[in-house]
């Protein structure tokens, strides 16, 4: 099975320092929904792996997060794509959970549920924590320069072998020409 794991905020949709707290605040990055469609049509399963500490902070609840993900799923479908699953960490940044990126727990759970080896899986994100989680889990890290991507690249702590691309559309073009 071909599988790609995508971070959400800053990779698929515009990030916000105020958090995405409702479906109305979801703003897809130009070309990202078409990129998801391109990957899906090329036979890739697409999974979103996202830290959502806004739940722990009381900014929104799980039902609202599900509504946000439903809206993203509908938008991807309108572009001809699909998202096969959403995985999220609801814990605060200072928690000691294993599921919050940069720890590899969420990615390992995806691998377990989809019965795949992460060595063949790309993890695409805009933040250092996405790349570190990919490296720790044995996945292939990909940095997009959207969201926090430019800053992440400038800090120069990319794991060895990190692929750097302008955005999700460029990654999809590369993987599924």
What are the residue numbers of the active site? 7, 9
Our CA dihedral for 13, 19, 22, 28, rounded to 10 degrees, sits at -10
129 touches 9 (CB < 8 A): no
Question: How many beta carbons lie within 10 A of that of residue 41, not counting itself?
Answer: 13
Cα separation, 115 vs 110, in Å, equals: 8
DSSP for 81-117, please give it. ----EEEEE-S-TT---SSSTTSSHHHHHHHHHHT--
Residue at token pair 């609202």: 64
């Amino acid at each position: 099975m071909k599988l790609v794991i995508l971070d959400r905020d800053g990779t698929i949709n515009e990030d916000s320092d105020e958090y995405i707290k409702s479906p109305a605040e979801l703003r897809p990055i130009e070309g990202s929904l078409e990129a998801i469609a391109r990957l899906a049509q090329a036979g890739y399963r697409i999974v979103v792996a996202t830290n959502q500490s806004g739940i722990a902070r009381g900014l929104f609840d799980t039902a609202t997060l599900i509504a946000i993900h439903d809206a993203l799923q509908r938008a991807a479908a309108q572009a001809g794509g699909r998202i096969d699953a959403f995985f999220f960490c609801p814990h605060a940044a200072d928690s000691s959970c294993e599921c919050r990126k940069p720890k590899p727990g969420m990615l390992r759970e995806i691998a377990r549920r989809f019965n795949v080896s992460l060595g063949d899986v790309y993890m695409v994100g805009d933040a250092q924590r996405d790349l570190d989680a990919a490296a720790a889990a044995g996945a292939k890290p990909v940095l997009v320069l959207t969201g926090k991507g430019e800053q992440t690249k400038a800090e120069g702590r990319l794991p060895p072998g990190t692929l750097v691309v302008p955005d999700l559309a460029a990654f999809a073009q590369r993987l599924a020409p």
